[in-house]
């Protein structure tokens, strides 16, 4: 099932394809649809029900010479828009891209100094090998159940310097039990995979959400930051107080309610979402991002998610049409679209703009870990003067 946004863009532009995860030859079909390589890097975004062991080994055989990395998802984004039960392949041809990949293990025992040193060496190495490819950025995949995304992006910022980075947190459908990453024939949890990219294609990183602050505010009075758990809000049991502000009971709280009534925090003059994962023990609230006592939380109000997405993606291609768009989209955006009966409209917009990628448990942009956001990168064919031979 070929899914290339603009096959006329040239051999140096990204290519994408997808196939059902349960098909016996799914990865072979993806390899055929991606076309002739060689590829510098192949990303695979995989339904969590797939046979990951077989997939990891087969990927190395089907894409010789390429760095094959990927993760399990909370849903896929294909040529159909929102999708499920798929494997999505996104390939960077050697003709247009050079990459360096870092596998970052044991996130709960992260050695920031060593990581920054390794990152600087990787940047220097890539710069020497691909100095003529001036467009530089980084893609991060991270275990979405590690609880370590905030610490990781903060540490990475010290080594990335001016290099822009975006990322997505691996998922496990709507189970929230086990998220996995893979690279170099191995599977990982409690880990991150950072890919440094230099490209002949022009690129534009993006991050947007459709959430607006309301006048309703609350204060975290007791929290367990290590567990991303809020025990009390306004000195009341957190889930009970949140539900009260919505005119609901704790029993009414669900992922759909969380998605439709987001929690925002103000950082650097902008509001960012801190999604609630679930109600925890003792009517606590467990979040998908960093949380601590004393933090002022603002109840958010979503704009029309479908119309907002269309505006943002239209703006992304206002000057010229991207040849490909890789997007990492929060699972709570999908929950909201489904709850408001507009998932088909959102899917149509994603498909019309050629967005492929996956639904995440969290998103990263720069040194920020956020929620209920879409992050990604748009690729534009090189201008004729910048084309490689």
Residue-range domain boundaries for the chain: 7-208+306-386, 211-301
Q: Which two tokens stand for residue 210?
A: 């459709």
User: What percentage of the chain carries pLDDT values higher than 90?
Assistant: 87
- In sequence order, the β-bridge partners of residue 95 are none
pLDDT at 370 over 90: yes
pLDDT band (50, 70, 90) for residue 10: low
- What's residue 388's pLDDT? 52
The CATH class for the domain spanning 211-301 reads: mainly beta
pLDDT at 374 over 60: yes
pLDDT at 18 over 80: yes
Note the pLDDT of residue 269.
84
The pLDDT tens digits for 250-279 are 999 999 899 899 999 998 888 999 999 999
Q: What is the pLDDT of residue 8?
A: 41
Kindly report the average pLDDT of the chain as a whole number: 94
* Per-residue confidence (pLDDT) for residue 7, from 0 to 100: 42
């Amino acid at each position: 099932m070929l899914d290339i946004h603009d096959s006329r863009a040239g051999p140096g532009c990204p290519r994408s394809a997808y196939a059902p995860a349960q098909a016996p030859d799914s990865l072979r079909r993806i390899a055929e649809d991606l076309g002739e390589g060689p590829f510098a890097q192949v990303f695979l975004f995989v339904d969590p029900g797939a046979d990951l062991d077989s997939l990891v080994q087969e990927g190395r055989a089907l894409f010789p010479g390429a760095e094959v990395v990927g993760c399990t998802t909370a849903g896929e984004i294909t040529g159909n828009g929102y999708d499920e039960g798929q494997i999505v392949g996104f390939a960077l041809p050697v003709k247009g891209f050079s990459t360096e990949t870092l596998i970052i293990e044991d996130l709960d025992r992260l050695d920031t100094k060593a990581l920054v040193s390794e990152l600087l060496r990787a940047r220097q190495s890539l710069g020497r090998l691909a100095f003529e490819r001036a467009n530089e950025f980084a893609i991060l995949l991270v275990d979405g159940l590690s609880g370590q995304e905030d610490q990781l992006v903060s540490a990475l910022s010290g080594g990335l310097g001016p290099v822009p980075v975006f990322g997505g947190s691996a998922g496990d459908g709507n189970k929230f039990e086990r998220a996995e990453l893979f690279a170099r024939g191995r599977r990982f949890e409690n880990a991150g995979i950072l890919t440094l990219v230099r490209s002949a294609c022009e690129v534009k990183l993006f991050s947007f959400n459709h959430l607006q602050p309301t006048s309703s505010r609350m204060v975290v009075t007791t929290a367990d930051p290590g567990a991303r758990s809020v025990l009390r809000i306004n000195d009341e049991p957190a889930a009970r107080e949140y539900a009260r502000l919505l005119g609901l009971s704790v029993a009414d709280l669900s992922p759909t309610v969380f998605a439709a009534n987001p929690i925002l925090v103000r950082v650097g003059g902008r509001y960012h979402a801190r999604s609630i994962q679930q109600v925890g023990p003792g009517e606590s609230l467990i979040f998908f991002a960093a949380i601590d006592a004393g933090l002022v939380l603002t109840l958010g109000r979503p704009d029309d998610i479908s119309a907002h997405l269309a505006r943002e993606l239209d703006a992304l291609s206002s000057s010229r049409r991207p040849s490909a768009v890789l997007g990492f989209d929060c699972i709570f955006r999908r929950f909201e679209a489904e709850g408001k009966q507009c998932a088909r409209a959102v899917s149509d917009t994603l498909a019309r703009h050629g967005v492929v990628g996956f639904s995440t448990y969290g998103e990263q942009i720069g040194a920020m870990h956020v929620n209920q956001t879409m992050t990604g990168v748009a690729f534009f064919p090189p201008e004729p003067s910048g084309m490689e031979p």
